[in-house]
């Protein structure tokens, strides 16, 4: 009976997220564009394959009084439902992926979805997606690190001298949008990694496209600011 009551209590959240996202996507224009930028690097990639969705199988718990593992499992489950139900076209195209480990939940967003070539301003699609993700994340109190990544090709831009600048600007644009949409400023921070953390080997254009991305890393440590999480 307790679990049934909890599911009734939380059922409205998914409906509200669905209605909000559908309204946003009706108002924006699709503008998915691949890009080709980056600085050379010889770093070994962390993985030879893209992340795959692996939804956690956990029961929902009340927001007040729950422990950290239950809350993070609930968050991952709701993010999985959001991606599967509302962002499935982007997931199928390889533009969004979701994963988790013992300490973090990762949302990978391809740069071609978020930005025009060589730019840091968010596309309409990017804003719509971040509105939906932020509406869910701001219900929790987990710190978020936003990572900007490029590929290994030299940058060709009058705005930026290196990929450090571009990756940092792109991560900052995502942070600015999420703070504007309701994430507490002390709970989120941008970091630019240039081409130093490739997801796959930069062997060809397709591989480089996978490495041009922004990753939202959501800590499973509840109640801390980003500064406390990283430096204390």
Q: Which residue has better confidence, 35 or 70?
A: 70
Collapsing DSSP states into helix, strand and coil, what is residue 215?
A: strand
Per mean pLDDT, which of 52-56, 114-118, 130-134, 219-223 is the most reliable? 130-134
Taking the C-alpha atoms of residue 207 and residue 29, their distance in angstroms, rounded to an integer, is 27
Q: Which two tokens stand for residue 228?
A: 């406390």
Q: Say if residue 66's pLDDT is above 80.
A: no
Structural domains present in the chain: 2-231 (3.30.1330.60)
Query: pLDDT band for position 42 (50/70/90)?
Result: very low
Give 138-161 pLDDT, tens digit per residue: 999 899 999 999 988 888 777 888
pTM higher than 0.85 for the full model?
no
* Residue carrying the six token digits 């400023």: 185
Provide the pLDDT for residue 222: 85
């Amino acid at each position: 009976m307790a679990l049934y009551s909890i599911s009734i209590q939380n059922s409205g959240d998914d409906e509200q997220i669905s209605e909000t996202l559908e309204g946003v996507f009706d108002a924006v224009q699709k503008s998915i564009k691949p890009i080709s930028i980056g600085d050379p690097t010889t770093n070994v990639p962390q993985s030879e394959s893209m992340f795959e969705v692996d939804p956690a199988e956990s029961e929902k718990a009340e927001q007040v009084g729950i422990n950290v593992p239950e809350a993070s499992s609930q968050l991952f489950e709701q993010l999985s439902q959001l991606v599967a139900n509302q962002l499935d076209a982007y997931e199928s195209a390889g533009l969004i992926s979701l994963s988790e480990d013992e300490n973090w939940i990762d949302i990978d967003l391809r740069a071609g979805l978020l930005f025009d070539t060589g730019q840091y301003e968010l596309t309409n699609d990017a804003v719509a997606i971040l509105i939906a993700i932020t509406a869910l994340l701001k219900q929790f109190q987990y710190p978020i690190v936003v990572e900007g990544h490029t590929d290994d090709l030299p940058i060709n831009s009058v705005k930026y001298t290196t990929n450090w600048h571009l990756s940092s600007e792109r991560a900052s644009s995502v942070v600015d949008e999420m703070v504007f949409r309701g994430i507490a400023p002390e709970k989120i921070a941008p970091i630019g990694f240039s081409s130093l953390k490739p997801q796959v080997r930069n062997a060809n254009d397709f591989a480089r496209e996978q490495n041009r991305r922004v990753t939202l890393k959501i800590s499973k440590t509840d109640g801390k600011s980003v500064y406390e999480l990283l430096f204390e």
